[in-house]
Structure 1
Amino acid sequence: MTLPSLTNWPALRVADWTPTRDTLHMWTQIVGKIRMAHAPLVNHWWQVTLYVSPRGLTTSAVPYRGGAFEIEFDLVGHRLEVRGSDGGSRGFPLRPMTVAEFYTRTLDALGRLGIEAPIRPHPNEVDPAIPFAEDHEHASYDAEAATLFWRQLLQANRVMGEFRSHFVGKVSPVHFFWGGMDLACTRFSGRSAPPHPGGAPNCGDWVMVEGYSRELSSCGFWPGGGEEGAFYSYAYPAPAGFADQPVGPEGAYYSTEFQQFLLPYEVARAAPDPDRAVAEFLRTTYEAAADQGHWDRPALEDDPLRWAGA
């Protein structure tokens, strides 16, 4: 398979790949839960996420006994690959199959490598939450759409990574949360936050309490909120006047439905300079949160080129 130029922002209408999106969502939940079973807790659940890789999405190295293993969705070659630090590897092709079959095949691949996977076999943050072993409803896999989604993530990951580099306070990696199926990066003011009320479907409120235990401004991309997905930005707790702040670029707006700023992906993709459009959205929505929330911005921000030429 020959890929188009990766400098392009690809078009992918959500309506054209929803069955595949929903199936892939459940598959990533299974793999993410396997990482969660073996990685020690990191604040805000940062240990459970997946990461954009040069070929898809990966767990990165997951500690296991005296070594480590990795699970990667290869969305270019369309395989699930499990690799161990002892040199062992197993995998299988990604093709249309039920969540139940994917779950069985993933556990089998791990078992053949001697890796146990004690996970709670139910999805989170969705309703209904069909147990993985019983999910014969989600069974779609459009390989071309999966690759296009990865290319969307690749572009988002790159621009969000550059945005992240301007912040020297506490800031998350750019990482993929399989609960909401979104790529996210979160900046923190350094102050504590009021307990989150929870309310996510099939997800304990205590999960959200940990995730939102500190005052934050979070941005990301997910395959919803627009015809081709959307970039988002929100604050917790949202300071007074946050929703009324002017943000850019043209086409960005505050969604009362989602309680956050949105920039439809198709608006960014069609801009003369998509990188600049997304960067403007990330910067101006963060400034809305930080300025209205009275963050100590001089102490939290710096020029990522400050050592250039040194």
Structure 2
Amino acid sequence: MTKWPDIPYSRWQPSGASLHMWTQIVGKFRLAQTPWINHSWQATFYVSGRGLNSSLIPGEGCSYDITFDFIDHQLKIDTTDGRQQAFALEPMSVAAFHERFLTALSKLGAPSDIHHAPNEVPDPVPFREQTGPGAYDRDAVWDFWQALVAVDAVFKRFRTGFLGKVSPVHFFWGSFDLAVTRFSGRPAPLHPGGFPALPDTVTREAYSHEVSSAGFWPGGGGIDYPAFYSYAYPMPDGFGDRAAEPTEAFFQKNLGEYVLPYDAVRQAADPEAALMSFLQTTYRTAADLAQWEREKLEADLGVPRVPRRID
């Protein structure tokens, strides 16, 4: 089995369009049940040993653990009192998935008062009205998950090299990307907002402080191939003028982000090193130009079984 599988966008896109909406539906249940954490971190999913997982979602009398299981190809809802509801992940409309999920919640006695329309997409259509046939290619979904597993490991290692505030490595269902974010510790100017179908209050809270953020998405949003990205908010003067590594990386002006095609990493002699060089060089560009206190914020990358040295 290839650790860094080929995930061409043309094969992935139909299933990805379905999963984007399906994860939003489940994510909105987590959002409705979980107290707000800074930068919307309470709403995300995590790469797991079976697919994408919600972590425990608090409830009345029990908590809920929801998994998009890409091995058994099921949506599984487990409760902390030992009950489970599950249904197959298979080609179906968004409306059908929405109905099945709400039915599963009802059988568990879980609340279903979620927001019933997607976020971060132009001209959002309520889930109940998305009745067109959906797609679910098991092989494409499996390869996508295997790519997430590989990327997650590198992102987590990159995360260890920072002593300041840093996000978990987590999957945002609105933008449908895996991300990790470093913070300078300083407040940022008020964000102008303007993301489609996303309240400006959410955007402004998410970008309340200076960040250097990196992530991976499987294609879409103007780039029809899987790619890594890196950006800074606020964007310092000169950001984008410096070269990034590896050589296949470039600055996409219309996005305001550095971009590295996934295939450049997958086909590299050492994919992990290639991706790490992208994460490190783009972060350093952002931190240097914005004059972060790097000597206080950074550390050597962590290694197993070795505590950080404190002099």
Q: TM-score, normalised by structure 1?
A: 0.95
Q: Which residue of 2 aligns with 1:79?
A: 74
Matching residue within 35, 51, 72 for 2:30: 35
Shift of 1:227: 5.6
Q: Provide the rounded CA distance (Å) in 2 between the counterparts of 1:206 and 1:242.
A: 26
- The answer as to 2:42 corresponding to 1:47 is yes
Residues 4-26 of structure 1, C-alpha deviations (whole Å, 9 max, x = no match): 25xx2000111122111111100
Q: Provide the rounded CA distance (Å) in 1 between the counterparts of 2:309 and 2:288.
A: 32
Q: Provide the rounded CA distance (Å) in 2 between the counterparts of 1:290 and 1:10.
A: 32
Q: Which residue of 2 aligns with 1:202?
A: 197
Q: Provide the rounded CA distance (Å) in 1 between the counterparts of 2:309 and 2:196.
A: 50
Q: Provide the rounded CA distance (Å) in 1 between the counterparts of 2:13 and 2:203.
A: 26
Q: Which residue of 1 aligns with 2:246?
A: 249
- The answer as to 2:126 corresponding to 1:131 is yes
Where 1:215 maps in the other structure, the secondary structure is strand
Q: How does 1:71-150 map to 2 (within 5 A)?
A: 71-137=66-132, 139-150=134-145
Shift of 1:309: 9.8
Where 2:91 maps in the other structure, the secondary structure is coil
Q: Provide the rounded CA distance (Å) in 2 between the counterparts of 1:211 and 1:55.
A: 29
Q: Give the residue type in structure 2 aligned to 1:300.
A: L
Shift of 1:66: 3.7
Q: Which residue of 1 aligns with 2:282?
A: 285
Q: Which residue of 2 aligns with 1:275?
A: 272
Shift of 1:248: 0.2
Query: Structure 1 stretches of 5 or more lacking a match?
Result: none
Bigger CA drift: 153-162 or 138-147? 138-147
Shift of 1:117: 2.2
Residues 183-212 of structure 1, C-alpha deviations (whole Å, 9 max, x = no match): 000000000001111111111111110110
Shift of 1:65: 1.8
Q: Provide the rounded CA distance (Å) in 2 between the counterparts of 1:298 and 1:107.
A: 50
Q: Provide the rounded CA distance (Å) in 2 between the counterparts of 1:182 and 1:17.
A: 14
Residues 22-62 of structure 1, C-alpha deviations (whole Å, 9 max, x = no match): 11100000011110011100000000001100110010111
Where 1:184 maps in the other structure, the secondary structure is strand
For the 8 Å contact 1:226–1:266, the answer to whether it is kept is: no
Q: Provide the rounded CA distance (Å) in 2 between the counterparts of 1:244 and 1:112.
A: 56
Q: Provide the rounded CA distance (Å) in 1 between the counterparts of 2:111 and 2:27.
A: 14
Shift of 1:83: 0.2
For the 8 Å contact 1:11–1:228, the answer to whether it is kept is: no
Q: How does 1:125-274 map to 2 (within 5 A)?
A: 125-137=120-132, 139-224=134-219, 228-274=225-271
Where 2:58 maps in the other structure, the secondary structure is strand
Q: Give the residue type in structure 2 aligned to 1:288.
A: T
For the 8 Å contact 2:91–2:133, the answer to whether it is kept is: no
**CA 1:309 to 1:287, structure 2 compared with 1: closer, same or farther past 3 Å?**
closer
Q: TM-score, normalised by structure 2?
A: 0.95
For the 8 Å contact 2:169–2:178, the answer to whether it is kept is: yes
Shift of 1:308: 6.7
For the 8 Å contact 1:186–1:219, the answer to whether it is kept is: yes
- The answer as to 2:18 corresponding to 1:23 is yes
Bigger CA drift: 178-187 or 224-233? 224-233
Identical amino acids, percent of aligned pairs: 48
Q: Which residue of 1 aligns with 2:299?
A: 302
Q: Provide the rounded CA distance (Å) in 1 between the counterparts of 2:191 and 2:132.
A: 33
Count of aligned pairs: 305
Q: Provide the rounded CA distance (Å) in 2 between the counterparts of 1:66 and 1:190.
A: 38
Shift of 1:136: 1.2
For the 8 Å contact 2:33–2:58, the answer to whether it is kept is: yes
Residues 248-278 of structure 1, C-alpha deviations (whole Å, 9 max, x = no match): 0110010012110000001111110000000
Shift of 1:97: 0.4
Q: Provide the rounded CA distance (Å) in 1 between the counterparts of 2:290 and 2:174.
A: 28
